[in-house]
Structure 1
Amino acid sequence: MTLLDEEPAAVAVSAQALVPLPDVSAAPYGLSDYVGEACLLLGAGSAVMNQLALVGVGKGVAEHSNTFERPLDRLRTTLTYVYALTLGTEVERKAIARMVNKAHGPIKGDGYTAFDPKLQLWVAATLTAGGEQMYEKTFGPMDEASRERAYREGWILGTALQVTEDMWPRTRAEFSTYWESMQAELSPDPHVQAYARQLLSARDAAWYLAGSVALQSLLTRGNLTAQVREVLDLPWRRRDQWAYDAFWAVFRTTYRLVPKRLRTLHSRLLVKDMRKRMRANRRVI
């Protein structure tokens, strides 16, 4: 039996589903309906910045990441992880979790380890919050039932590794409380600040990539709160805000004119690539 012998599950069902929770049966849509949308990629950079703002995560990434050596491959592996968990089969989810755990082995240092469930919880929370933020910026506010359904379907992002189910907030309202409480834990670190600025700098990019890097920097910084920008020492001027608002005014209109099959093409290709790599025993993560 190969991984492709199983039918893809839309999303994993957590054991938390056994706990009485708000009824979402009438929700028009959920996470599986939009997780593959290309517009969510516009929040990738800000998710990373939110992660860096928590010093334990920030130090681990700044000291061990190889993003600068293989930026496109790092993007591929991150997206593969997300799509495997949310669009893959149960076998694929377990396989990806094992691969990530193996990759996390060497990531440890003074005051942090990649296996720390509290740090993993924050990383997963940034993915959850970032995806929701980008969806709403593009398509408008979610209705409460769909927001709750999408959050519930996304539990797997929080509990696939070392985060236990009792640690992950049960409802979207509890998640908001957790998110707000974590803002007090975000603190500056000079090494992490330098790393964050380097990630967003177009100075070392090839000339043909400079424009896209500059746009990604603008969107990344604009998606962040003023507090996180201050923690990471990222500049934000009035003209940045004007450019950010202008981008979204144009993007949200034009993006919705593109057929959904094209908007989600990249996610289907990445899942296909993941399955091809698994069959050939090639590196996935």
Structure 2
Amino acid sequence: MNHNCLLTPNPNLNEKFKEIIGELASMMGHFAAALLQISYLEVANALIAYSSVTKDPVKRGRRSLVYIYCMVFGTKEERDYILTLTQNAHNNVADISPEVDDPELQRWVIATIY
């Protein structure tokens, strides 16, 4: 059995490995972020009242993962697009619940993601 291939560095393989681990870490971080977010009472109340988290948690989780993935791996245009969608969603709720636009709460949610 030839083990030379194990000793020869392969930069392409290393980059692919980093990409896979990075994606996995960002997805696994979503669960920790969600727990941290709902530990903040105002965020938890807003999620329960205005989010699809209780009606369709899979859809909510998917949207959160898309947000995280785009923020970490997306181009500037993709990040801007996702930020616009997020702000539009907040604007729809802000008339009913002004705390959705509270900068402190938004910083908390973003901090849990990063």
Common fold by TM > 0.5: yes
1:127 aligns with 2:95: no
After TM superposition, give the deviation of residue 91 of structure 1 in Å.
0.9
After TM superposition, give the deviation of residue 59 of structure 1 in Å.
1.5
Structure-2 change in CA distance of 1:40 and 1:90 (3 Å): closer
1:44 aligns with 2:9: no
What percent of counterpart residues are identical?
Answer: 28
After TM superposition, give the deviation of residue 35 of structure 1 in Å.
3.4
Q: Where does the alignment leave 5 or more consecutive residues of structure 2 unmatched?
A: 1-17
> In the alignment, what sits opposite 2:78?
92
Paired residues of 1:67 and 1:74 also in contact (CA < 8 A): yes
* Structure (1 or 2) with the greater helix fraction: 2
Structure-2 change in CA distance of 1:124 and 1:63 (3 Å): same
Structure-2 change in CA distance of 1:91 and 1:44 (3 Å): closer
**SS of equivalent to 2:33:** helix
After TM superposition, give the deviation of residue 106 of structure 1 in Å.
2.9
Aligned residues: 95
Letter of the 2:66 counterpart: T
After TM superposition, give the deviation of residue 84 of structure 1 in Å.
0.9
Q: Where does the alignment leave 5 or more consecutive residues of structure 1 unmatched?
A: 1-31, 129-285
> Of 63, 71, 77, which aligns to 2:49?
63
Structure-2 change in CA distance of 1:49 and 1:95 (3 Å): same
After TM superposition, give the deviation of residue 90 of structure 1 in Å.
1.0
- Give the Cα separation in 2 of the matches to 1:61 and 1:124: 15
Paired residues of 2:71 and 2:79 also in contact (CA < 8 A): yes
Letter of the 1:117 counterpart: P
Q: With the length of structure 2 as denominator, give the TM-score of the two structures.
A: 0.68
- Give the Cα separation in 2 of the matches to 1:44 and 1:65: 16
Structure-2 change in CA distance of 1:50 and 1:102 (3 Å): same
Structure-2 change in CA distance of 1:39 and 1:124 (3 Å): closer
Q: With the length of structure 1 as denominator, give the TM-score of the two structures.
A: 0.30
> Of 47, 55, 69, which aligns to 1:83?
69
Paired residues of 1:107 and 1:113 also in contact (CA < 8 A): no
**SS of equivalent to 1:96:** helix
> In the alignment, what sits opposite 2:101?
115
After TM superposition, give the deviation of residue 103 of structure 1 in Å.
0.9
- Give the Cα separation in 2 of the matches to 1:52 and 1:72: 16
**SS of equivalent to 2:44:** helix
After TM superposition, give the deviation of residue 44 of structure 1 in Å.
3.0
After TM superposition, give the deviation of residue 61 of structure 1 in Å.
0.9
After TM superposition, give the deviation of residue 39 of structure 1 in Å.
7.7
After TM superposition, give the deviation of residue 104 of structure 1 in Å.
1.1
**SS of equivalent to 2:101:** coil
Alignment root-mean-square deviation, CA: 2.4
